[in-house]
Structure formats: C-alpha cells, structure tokens
C-alpha cells in the first residue's frame, strides 16, 4: 500500500470480484485508491463456500475486465478455480488490497469519508461499498428452539455431507443453494426439502445452454430486467420476494436424487420443526438454505435509508456525494450481484466517481 496514506481519491470496501473489477477501472484512471478487505486472501469468499460448488455462469462470463477467464468458455469452473483466478487477477493488475481489514465503521466528515478498522483509519473523497450481497445468513428466529441434538447449519456453513449426523436431513428452502445442497445430501441421507421453488430455467443447464440459452439469460438479466425498464420494474419486486429461479438444477433432479418435497417450515414445537401442514418431521439435521441479508450496520445510519439500506440509483448514493454501492441484489438489474452484472456496474460507476479537480492537489492533500 506504499504511499497510500493521507487522503485517498477512492476507497473500496470489499475485495471480492466486485471490488476487484472496480479497482481495475480506477487503476486505468490512475487514481489513488485502496481496497480494504476482511479476508486473508483474495478469493476467500468463494473458497469458503461448499466443496462441490461450481459456478453456474459459463467461463466466458466469469472473467473480470482485462483478463478473460482462462478456461474452456463453455465450461463451469469449480469455485476454488474461480477463487485462484481472482487472486491472480489482483496480482496481475497490481491492485492495492489491504487484507485482514474489516471496516467496522464508515462515516462522513465534511467532504471526506472515514473508515475505521481495528484502531486504524483511512480517509477518502469517494467510497465504493462492495461488501457483497451474501453478508449475514438469514435464519428464522425459531431455529434457536430446535432440539440441541439436531445438527443445524446455514448453507454458508455447509461444506459437505460429512458435517451431518446419520439420519434424515431437512433442507429448508428451494433456491439455487437449497436445490444443489439437497441433491448432494440426498445421496448419503434420507432428505426432505421444504418450500417451493421460484421457477426454473426451462432448459438443461450445461454446454449447450452455455452456447445458446445462457447468453439470452445474461442479456435479459443485464439489459432487460433492470430498474430502468418498465418490464424490469414490474418483475423485480416479485423476484426479490420469491427468489431467483433455479438455474442449474430442476425440481425433478431433486426428486430423482430421492429427496421428498414437504411444505414450508413455519415454526418449532417441542424441539422439532413444524411444517405448514402441521407435520413435525423427526429429523437429525436441518440445513437452512434461506438466503442472506445485506448488512450495512457498520455504516453511519445517516448514509442509509430508514431501513438501513442504501439510498441509491444505479449504485450512486442519492444524497451522499462520493458514496457508491456495487454488487447488491437487484440493485440495478437482476444480474447486479453476479459476475457479469458486477463488472458492468463497476464500469458504469467508474465513470460516475468524480475526478479530482487537480490530480496534483489530490496527491498533495
Ligand atoms: P463477495 O465475493 O462476498 O466479496 C465481498 C468481500 O468483501 C469479501 O471478501 C468480504 O469478506 C469483504 N467484506 C465484507 N464486509 C466487509 C467489511 N466491513 N470490511 C472489509 N471487507 C468486507 N454469481 C455468478 O455470477 N456466477 C455463479 O456461478 C455464482 N454462484 C454463486 C453461488 C453461491 C452459493 C452464492 C452464495 C453466490 C453465487 N453467485 C454467483 C453470486 C455472486 O457472484 C457471488 O456471491 C460473488 O461472490 C459476489 O461478489 P462480491 O464481490 O459482490 O461479494
């Protein structure tokens, strides 16, 4: 981080793919910027996901700007390969990532933003918040009432079936994580999947889809289903409420793997999960595939709306000049929290971040 003391032009909080793509564009503009990231290594957000995970976006869409993903364009890389690619990307473009730095507070003083972490502070004229949409696991409150003998974990803590005890598993939620984890655990455990899928891609996911269908899905997710189009404004609230459709898996794959569908989980009674039909299945394990909350409680509430969420359009904060957001679910488009969406949105934001009046003045400030 060498000479990156004093007032920075821009500070990026979060060094996942979104923060790195942003860094690439800021580097091209020769700004003085720094990326603060809590993890020890670039790519760790992917390394921490479950062992068998592969990305559902084909390699041709997994590259960040300036460095196409080095794999067969129609293949779906394993998550650790993507993590290593991100790590090499940061090295290749000499992106200044300060690892092991979790920003605990962010506030504004005059025309500067101040970030604080573990006794250190950084000052910048602009801030891009790229801390990820999958920040804090969403788990129903009644989960704490489950009998302690039941192994329970959230999808973000799931790695492989070896973490589970013998006996039935209840997978709660049939989003992309629930469907994929449900298929995996069905191979080793009797499995119930609770809830309803929010639709599915009407074709088989694979090389042929990567060639013909996923380009259309990508186009729709970036350019059609966004808050600037009437069709996007109509579709986004429903997608927000019901979750994105299944991309790689189908509910029939779950059935073929032996999983049994049950109604949603509504509570806990006597330590056992209660389903919407009143049944109380006797399970040994529960995996909450119930999604995530974005988490901005570390930011000064004055920078957020009354619900603690960004007040922004297309990533540009509405009433905090110099504050930007990148990579939140449905922020601008349906694809805003995926690799292609984040890269596109980063390019857009790079044009919106004010250029210092004089670069020399910024350098000597
Ligand atoms: P992250 O990768 O989460 O990076 C954010 C970084 O910010 C992390 O390193 C985090 O530690 C750090 N951070 C957070 N808070 C702070 C703080 N206060 N201070 C400092 N650092 C902080 N998308 C696709 O395009 N294709 C896929 O195949 C795909 N598969 C997915 C599979 C799963 C299971 C999940 C959950 C998501 C998937 N996504 C996929 C969606 C998305 O692309 C990824 O979640 C991606 O990791 C998001 O990148 P990001 O940079 O926005 O966030």
What mean pLDDT comes out for the span 251-258?
96
Q: Take atom 15 of ligand 1 and give the residue whose Cα is closest.
A: 131
Is-contact 127 134, C-beta < 8 A?
no
pLDDT digits (tens, 9 = 90+) for 148-169: 999 999 999 999 999 999 999 9
Max Cα distance, the chain (Å) = 69
Q: Within 6 Å (CB) of ligand 1, which residues are found?
A: 13-19, 36-39, 45, 49, 53, 55-57, 101-103, 130-132, 134, 177, 298, 327, 337-339, 342
Q: Take atom 23 of ligand 1 and give the residue whose Cα is closest.
A: 338
Residue 18 has pLDDT above 60, yes or no: yes
Q: Take atom 24 of ligand 1 and give the residue whose Cα is closest.
A: 338
Closest CA to 137 of 119, 158, 155: 155
Give SS3 for 240: helix
Question: What is the best residue among 337, 341, 345 to mutate for testing ligand 1's pocket, by most ligand atoms within 8 Å of CB?
Answer: 337
Residue 1: what pLDDT? 39
CA 264 to centroid of ligand 1, rounded, Å: 27
What is the distance between the alpha carbons of residues 364 and 306, in angstroms, rounded to a whole number?
37
Is-contact 106 113, C-beta < 8 A?
yes
Give percent of the chain above pLDDT 70.
96
Residue 3 has pLDDT above 50, yes or no: no
271 torsion bin: left (phi>0), alpha (psi -120 to 50), beta (else): left
Ligand 1 atom closest to Cα of residue 342: 52
CA 256 to centroid of ligand 1, rounded, Å: 31
What is the distance between the alpha carbons of residues 315 and 334, in angstroms, rounded to a whole number?
14
CA 166 to centroid of ligand 1, rounded, Å: 32
Residue 364 has pLDDT above 80, yes or no: no
Residue 6 — pLDDT band, cuts 50, 70, 90?
confident
Residue 244: what pLDDT? 81
Low-confidence winner among 19-33, 157-171, 351-365 (lowest mean pLDDT): 351-365
Ligand 1 atom closest to Cα of residue 44: 9
What is the distance between the alpha carbons of residues 160 and 172, in angstroms, rounded to a whole number?
16
Residue 362: what pLDDT? 53
pLDDT digits (tens, 9 = 90+) for 72-110: 999 999 999 999 999 999 999 999 999 999 999 999 999
Is-contact 82 59, C-beta < 8 A?
no
Ligand 1 atom closest to Cα of residue 339: 25
Give SS3 for 122: strand
Its ipTM equals 0.98
Sequence-distant (≥ 6) Cβ neighbours of residue 216 within 8 angstroms: none
Is-contact 146 281, C-beta < 8 A?
no
Q: Take atom 27 of ligand 1 and give the residue whose Cα is closest.
A: 55
Q: Take atom 31 of ligand 1 and give the residue whose Cα is closest.
A: 55
Is-contact 182 307, C-beta < 8 A?
no
Q: Tokens 């934001």 belong to which residue?
A: 349
What mean pLDDT comes out for the span 311-319?
96
Ligand 1 atom closest to Cα of residue 36: 20
Higher pLDDT, 242 or 102: 102
Distance of alpha carbon 21 from its chain centroid, rounded?
A: 14
Residues in the chain: 365
């Amino acid at each position: 981080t060498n000479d990156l003391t004093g007032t920075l032009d821009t500070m990026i909080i979060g060094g996942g793919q979104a923060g790195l793509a942003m860094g690439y564009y800021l580097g091209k503009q020769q700004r003085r910027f720094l990326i603060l990231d809590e993890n020890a290594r670039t790519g760790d957000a992917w390394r921490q996901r479950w062992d068998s995970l592969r990305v559902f976006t084909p390699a041709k869409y997994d590259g960040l700007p300036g460095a196409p993903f080095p794999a067969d364009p129609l293949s779906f890389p394993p998550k650790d390969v993507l993590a290593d690619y991100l790590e090499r990307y940061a090295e290749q473009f000499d992106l200044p990532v300060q690892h092991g730095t979790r920003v605990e507070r962010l506030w504004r003083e005059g025309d500067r933003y101040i970030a604080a972490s573990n006794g250190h502070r950084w000052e910048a004229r602009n801030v891009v918040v790229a801390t990820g949409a999958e920040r804090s696991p969403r788990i129903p409150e009644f989960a704490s009432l489950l009998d302690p003998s039941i192994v329970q974990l959230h999808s973000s803590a799931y790695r492989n079936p070896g973490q589970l005890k013998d006996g039935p598993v209840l997978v709660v939620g049939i989003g992309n994580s629930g469907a994929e984890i449900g298929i995996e655990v069905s191979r080793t455990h009797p499995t119930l999947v609770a809830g309803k899928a929010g639709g599915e891609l009407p074709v088989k996911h694979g090389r042929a889809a990567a060639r013909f269908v996923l380009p259309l899905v990508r186009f729709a997710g970036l350019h059609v289903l966004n808050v600037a189009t009437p069709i996007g404004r109509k579709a986004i609230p429903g997608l927000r409420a019901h979750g994105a459709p299944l991309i790689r898996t189908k509910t029939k794959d779950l059935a073929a793997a032996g999983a049994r569908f049950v109604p949603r989980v509504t509570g806990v009674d006597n330590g056992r999960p209660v389903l919407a039909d009143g049944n109380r299945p006797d399970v040994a394990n529960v995996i909450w595939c119930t999604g995530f909350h974005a988490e901005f409680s570390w930011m000064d509430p004055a920078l957020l709306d009354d619900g603690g969420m960004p007040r922004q359009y297309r990533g540009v904060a509405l009433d905090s000049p110099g504050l930007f957001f990148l990579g939140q679910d449905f922020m601008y488009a349906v694809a805003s929290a995926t690799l292609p969406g984040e890269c596109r949105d980063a390019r857009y934001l790079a044009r919106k971040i004010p250029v210092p009046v004089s670069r020399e003045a910024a350098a000597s400030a």
